[in-house]
Amino acid sequence: MAEPVPLVQQLVNVPIFKDLPARSLESIARSMRERTYEKGAVIVRQGDPGVGFFLITDGVVEVSHDGHHVRDLGAGEFFGEMALMEERPRSATVTAKERTRCLQLVRWDFRAVLKENPDLAVRMLEVVVQRLREHPQSHELD
Ligand code: CMP
């Protein structure tokens, strides 16, 4: 069986984490927990309170809003950041389309990581703004 890949190594391969100093990656990795979801598992449900931020390391998830497909996300992408940033319920449902592995950060660790790593926070903000622009109807912005 293949050796498990250390969490730090998994983070180095993720675009928004690239260029962070090794010290920061090691500290972030210590707060992360590996989670595996089987095909069809609902990872985040629209309307629920948000506890976790998820970074996909393997697999594909579907984001849906009011039962309508919004888009798929795959390895290196993340979800669950919105409810943690604005302290509101989950804006969409996220379902595993196949067996999917994620690294999870809980709310308090997620916020601490962003405060300690402004470059990461800015990169994440860029992705979030893009998401809101592409699908304003899912976020009451239209
Ligand atoms: P959150 O609202 O915490 O929970 C649902 C998640 O789905 C949300 O965070 C985003 O991570 C993700 N999401 C919502 N809308 C979009 C979108 N238009 N594109 C990509 N991901 C989205």
CA of 1 to the centre of ligand 1 (A): 34
Query: Which numbered atom of ligand 1 lies nearest the CA of 78?
Result: 11
For 51-102, the pLDDT digits (tens) are 999 999 999 999 999 999 999 999 999 999 999 998 899 999 999 999 999 9
Decide which of 2.60.120.10, 3.40.718.10, 3.30.830.10, 3.30.1520.10 is the CATH code for 7-134. Answer: 2.60.120.10
For residues 93 and 115, the answer to whether their CB atoms sit within 8 Å is no
Q: Which ligand 1 atom is at minimum distance from the Cα of 138?
A: 15
Distance 62 CA to ligand 1 centre (A): 10
**pLDDT for the residue numbered 1:** 61
Q: pLDDT tens across 13-29, in order?
A: 888 988 899 999 999 99
Q: Write the CB contacts of 89 (distance below 8 Å, at least 6 apart in sequence).
A: 46, 47, 48, 49, 50, 83
- Residue 87: the pLDDT is 85
Q: Using the predicted structure, report yes or no on whether residue 142 has a pLDDT greater than 60.
A: no
The pTM score is: 0.94
Hey, whose CA ends up nearest to atom 6 of ligand 1?
Answer: 80
Q: What is the pLDDT of residue 95?
A: 98
Ligand 1, atom 11, residue with closest C-alpha: 79
Residues 25-59: tens digit of each pLDDT: 999 999 999 999 999 999 999 999 999 999 999 99
Distance CA 34, CA 51 (A): 15
Site residues for ligand 1, CB cut-off 6 Å: 44, 50, 63, 70-71, 79-83, 90-92, 94, 131, 134-135, 138
